């Protein structure tokens, strides 16, 4: 029995011949109602992901943000490995990233080096221990990937494209600042119907090949 089915009926519901739409499950729900449910579903997924990552990070003695900094440094530029750009990438303030980086340096997971030509700027890089720790974090993600892989191939592709479309919309509305996906890239050519392709790399982009974090990405004009 679903949670909605377990709820007590609202007063007067049994006498009414027609219930108001709000609060009811409908097979013909208006798109606004589906949009509300979609945001609720995204919220549930985000919480699950956050809990999983918090658990994995705390087992290794680091915070979730420190784990994000390590992952971002591991993946390499963009962004350039400097505090200001990491802060923008992760959607947090510069002092917050500075605190995380200081802690990672103390733990021997990240090292600072002076940038050539500008001794006032420091670049960050993973140490050997930092690389090992990212490998452990990545292994922890395999449980989530296995759960997704349990969906059929067609469902996975449909969900992937839908999520890329949502990311593009959130970029358009200013709710995501940094996204390097094909659907937000100036080099995306073609159409979903006729087939998409990358104008920069001169390659076809069927749905499974669309990229979620492409180093060659350039934002499409507003």
Tokens representing 212 are 């979620």
Give least dist CB 76 to ligand SF4, A.
15
Instruction: Please report the DSSP string for 151-215 in residue order.
Output: S-HHHHHHHHHHHHHHHHHHHHTTS-S--B-GGGBTTEEEETTTEEEETTTTEE--GGG--SB-T
| Nearer CB in complex with ligand SF4: 87/210 | 210
- Say how many CA atoms lie within 13 Å of 120 toward its Cβ: 0
DSSP state of 10: P
Question: Which residue number, 134 or 182, has a Cβ lying nearer to ligand SF4?
Answer: 182
Please state the closest distance from residue 153 (CB atom) to ligand SF4, in A: 21
Q: Does 167 help bind ligand SF4 (rule: CB under 6 A)? A: no
- Report yes or no: 165 and 151 within 8 Å, Cβ to Cβ: no
Q: Is 53 in the site for ligand SF4 (CB under 6 A)?
A: no
In the bound state with ligand SF4, the residue whose beta carbon lies nearer, of 41 and 209, is 209
- The answer to whether 217 contacts ligand SF4 (rule: CB under 6 A) is yes
| Residue 68: CB atoms within 10 Å | 21
Choice from 67, 83, 164, 198 touching ligand SF4 (CB under 6 A): 198
In the bound state with ligand SF4, the residue whose beta carbon lies nearer, of 42 and 201, is: 201
**Six-digit token pair at 106?**
């103390």
188 interacts with ligand SF4 by CB under 6 A: yes
What is the rounded distance in angstroms from the CA atom of residue 213 to the CA atom of residue 217? 8
If one asks whether residue 90 binds ligand SF4 (CB under 6 A), the answer comes out as: no
Question: 177 is written with which tokens?
Answer: 């600042």
Q: Residues 13, 16, 40, 201: which binds ligand SF4 (CB under 6 A)?
A: 201
Binding site for ligand SF4 (CB under 6 A): 182, 185, 187-188, 198, 200-201, 211, 214, 216-217
């Amino acid at each position: 029995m679903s949670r909605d089915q377990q709820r007590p009926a609202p007063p007067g519901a049994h006498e009414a011949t027609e219930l108001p739409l709000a609060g009811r499950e409908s097979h013909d729900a208006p798109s606004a109602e589906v949009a509300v449910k979609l945001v609720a579903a995204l919220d549930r997924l985000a919480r699950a992901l956050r809990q999983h990552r918090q658990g994995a990070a705390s087992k290794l003695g680091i915070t979730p943000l420190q784990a994000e900094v390590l992952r971002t440094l591991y993946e390499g530029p963009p962004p350039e490995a400097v505090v200001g750009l990491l802060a923008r990438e992760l959607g947090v303030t510069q002092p917050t990233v500075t605190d995380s980086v200081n802690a990672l340096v103390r733990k021997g997971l990240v090292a600072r080096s002076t940038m050539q030509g500008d001794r006032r700027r420091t670049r960050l890089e993973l140490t050997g221990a930092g690389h090992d720790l990212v490998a452990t974090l990545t292994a922890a993600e395999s449980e989530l990937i296995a759960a997704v892989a349990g969906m059929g191939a067609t469902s996975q592709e449909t969900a992937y494209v839908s999520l890329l479309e949502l990311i593009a919309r959130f970029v358009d509305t200013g709710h995501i600042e940094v996204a390097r996906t094909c659907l937000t890239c100036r080099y995306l050519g073609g159409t979903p119907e006729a087939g998409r392709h990358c104008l920069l790399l001169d390659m076809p982009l069927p749905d499974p090949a669309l990229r979620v974090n492409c180093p060659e990405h350039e934002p499409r004009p507003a």
